[in-house]
Amino acid sequence: MSRESNFISDENNFDKLSNKYNRNNLNISFNRVAFIFFIFVLVSLIFSLKAFYLTGKKLPTNNIVSSKKELRSNIVDRNNNILAKTIITRNIGINPNLVIDKQKLILNLKILFPDKNYSDIQEKLDGKKFFYFAEELNPENYEKLIMLGDKSLIPENRITRIYPQKNLFSHIIGQIDNENNGVSGIEKSFDKILKEKNENLKLTVDLNLQYIIREELIKFKEIFKSIGAAGILIDSKNGQILSLISLPDYDLNKRNSFEDINLINRATKGVYELGSVFKTFTYAVGLNEGIIKPDTEFKNLEKKISCSKYTIGEYDEKIPSDLTAEQILIRSGNIGSIRIAQKVGEQKFVKFINTLGLLDTIDFDIEEIGKPLKFKWGKCKLATSAYGHGITTTLLQLAKGYSIISNGGYEIKPTLVLDGKQNSIKYQQIISEDASKQVNLALRKIVTSKEGTASFANIEGYEIAGKTGTAQKSIAGGYSKNKINTFASIFPASNPKYVLIVMLDEPKPNKDYIYNYKDGSGLKIKGTQFNTAGWTSVEVAGKIIEKIGPILATKY
């Protein structure tokens, strides 16, 4: 073999060895890279799991809206004032596991927000769970926190329901839960509409009227040391509620579960024996059935009568024994009211009370409504119901009843939601117009005459009429000394447009309060003489109407 052929053969062998070496080397490099990559992934996974474990809580995301259902329409009053609104709020939370220097962080936060409770924040920083440092921040403060550049500060955008009027409409508007579902009030009843319709839900209430009435109720709740109070102002022609208040109330912006029974909606949910305000209905049914006239005489009225094992007497023994039907109502006679009811008869009396909707559960715009207590009718129940004893209803139903009595006898449906059709509805007349007029005249005399029980409501120019009711609160096995004092008023009496119900729950006499007589004498008297509606609820109603009258343009 030539040297040349040997050289070629060696060269070929070299190429084969070289190729084999390169392939082996490539495999080694690839295996190294794969090993390093595996180690990197493993370490990353370990750290991720550790961080997730230590955090102990899913951190918030910056998603503003995850679905359209998170949005809710605004709720506004009749003048388009915002009562409830959905906004995007900026919040900042802290993840303790990402804090590098706790003391430095706290120092920086103190400079920006000196009023925070930093002992509490220090305790949370020592823990492992995410917590919110500041919520609903304005853009300026939000920017200041972000500029700190601390990775432990976690920003979040959140859909928030806000209530600019805070406590003012709490028992009407109600609340939503953390899942954006209505749980009470209008928020619950109109939950679907508020989520689906992209337009304001307009209510019948008036912000200014609501504010004035609430302020007066708060003031007199303190003056008479009552445990609660309520007021309803309703347009007696169409049933639109202009104001509905129950005290105590609460700030809607603070979502809480309220277990205190004293926070009950006394205007719609509370069921009470309301006393002599029922005498108006007794007088009305007698007139409507043509059984009595205002001047029908009742002679030799007893001071006391017996019914079963019970004795019924007059609240005031000075009431004369001879009275006309109208005088019985004006002087709030118990025995006289019983005699009228007995003349009417149980069947017609019950039918009339039911026609007014006083004993059934009312159909209303919010679910917080009370159910009047059921009972068996009979001679004694007819007698006690005639003067408002042993028969229960809600203030809302009382407002409806007085609206029908005073507006000419036409049925109405109380409502909180404004509907353009409400003024054009033709309501059914269930009481004669003549009976309505006669009742209004008697109610006016209760305010203007010396024999009446509501003279403190005789505010010049407003023609207030109404009936007082003072009732002991029922308890298991009987009645307590605590009272429910109510005044059901209508105004102006010559052309009734509004009904105002004022109720004080367990008021107390005030020995220092100054009463001003409205008869032009300038007479003043110090101290509550009696713990009755005439000395408590009437005074409140008079003050309210004096302030809201100019807004309603009812002064004559």
* pLDDT at site 59: 45
Residue 13 within any structural domain of the chain: no
Judged by DSSP in three states, 553 sits in coil
β-strand partners of 125: none
For a pLDDT cut of 90, what percent of the chain falls above it? 74
Last residue of a domain, one of 160, 183, 198: 160
Helices and strands of the chain, counted as H and E runs: 16, 18
Number of independent structural domains in the chain? 2
* pLDDT at site 71: 82
Task: Grade residue 138 by pLDDT with cuts at 50, 70 and 90.
Answer: confident
Residue range 433-454, pLDDT digits in tens: 999 999 999 999 999 999 999 9
473/446 Cα distance (integer angstroms): 24
Q: Do 142 and 237 belong together in one domain?
A: no
Q: What is the CATH number of the domain that holds 360?
A: 3.40.710.10
Q: Do 258 and 396 belong together in one domain?
A: yes
Residue 19 within any structural domain of the chain: no
Q: Do 146 and 228 belong together in one domain?
A: no
**How many Cα atoms occupy the beta-carbon half-sphere of 496 within 13 Å?**
34
Q: Do 495 and 366 belong together in one domain?
A: yes
* pLDDT at site 41: 53
Task: Grade residue 135 by pLDDT with cuts at 50, 70 and 90.
Answer: confident
Residue 540 within any structural domain of the chain: yes
* pLDDT at site 522: 81
**What mean pLDDT comes out for the span 226-249?**
97
Please determine, for residue 7, whether its predicted confidence score (pLDDT) is greater than 60. Answer: no
| Token pair listed for 11 | 């060269």
Range with the poorest average pLDDT among 50-64, 78-92, 300-314, 541-555? 50-64
- CB burial of 293-308 (b: ≥16 within 10 Å; e: otherwise) equals ebebebeebeeeeeee
Q: Do 215 and 124 belong together in one domain?
A: no
**What mean pLDDT comes out for the span 458-473?**
96
204/225 Cα distance (integer angstroms): 31
Per DSSP bridges, beta strands 304-307 and 241-247 are unpaired
* pLDDT at site 36: 61
Task: Grade residue 556 by pLDDT with cuts at 50, 70 and 90.
Answer: low
Please determine, for residue 113, whether its predicted confidence score (pLDDT) is greater than 90. Answer: yes
**What mean pLDDT comes out for the span 288-296?**
98
Last residue of a domain, one of 97, 128, 160: 160
* Displacement of CA 476 from its chain's centroid (Å): 28
What is the helix (H) or strand (E) element at residue 109, kind and residue range? helix 102-112
Q: What is the CATH number of the domain that holds 131?
A: 3.90.1310.10
| Token pair listed for 373 | 């207590």
Q: Do 101 and 232 belong together in one domain?
A: no
Please determine, for residue 35, whether its predicted confidence score (pLDDT) is greater than 60. Answer: no
Last residue of a domain, one of 102, 134, 160: 160
Distant-in-sequence, close-in-space partners of 3: CB < 8 Å, separation ≥ 6: none
Residue 47 within any structural domain of the chain: no
Range with the poorest average pLDDT among 22-26, 505-509, 515-519? 22-26
Residue 214 within any structural domain of the chain: yes
Residue 259 within any structural domain of the chain: yes
Q: Do 377 and 520 belong together in one domain?
A: yes
Judged by DSSP in three states, 279 sits in helix
Whole-angstrom Cα Rg for the chain = 37
Residue range 48-91, pLDDT digits in tens: 544 444 444 444 444 444 445 568 999 999 999 999 999 888 89
Q: Do 153 and 214 belong together in one domain?
A: no
Nearest to 369 by CA among 274, 272, 278, 265: 265
| Token pair listed for 47 | 């750290």
**What mean pLDDT comes out for the span 538-556?**
91
Residue range 161-208, pLDDT digits in tens: 999 999 999 999 999 987 889 999 999 999 999 998 889 999 999 999
**What mean pLDDT comes out for the span 383-412?**
97
Q: Do 474 and 403 belong together in one domain?
A: yes
* pLDDT at site 336: 97
Q: Do 118 and 216 belong together in one domain?
A: no
Residue range 492-510, pLDDT digits in tens: 999 999 999 999 999 999 9
Residue 518 within any structural domain of the chain: yes
Instruction: Give the domain range for residue 436.
Output: 209-552
Strand ranges (DSSP E) for 283-335? 297-298, 304-307, 310-313, 323-324
Per DSSP bridges, beta strands 201-202 and 75-76 are parallel
Residue 197 within any structural domain of the chain: no
Task: Grade residue 4 by pLDDT with cuts at 50, 70 and 90.
Answer: very low
* pLDDT at site 33: 53
Q: Do 250 and 384 belong together in one domain?
A: yes
Q: Do 431 and 517 belong together in one domain?
A: yes
The 3-class secondary structure across 290-342, one letter per residue, is: CCCCCCCEECCCCCEEEECCEEEECCCCCCCCCEEHHHHHHCCCHHHHHHHHH
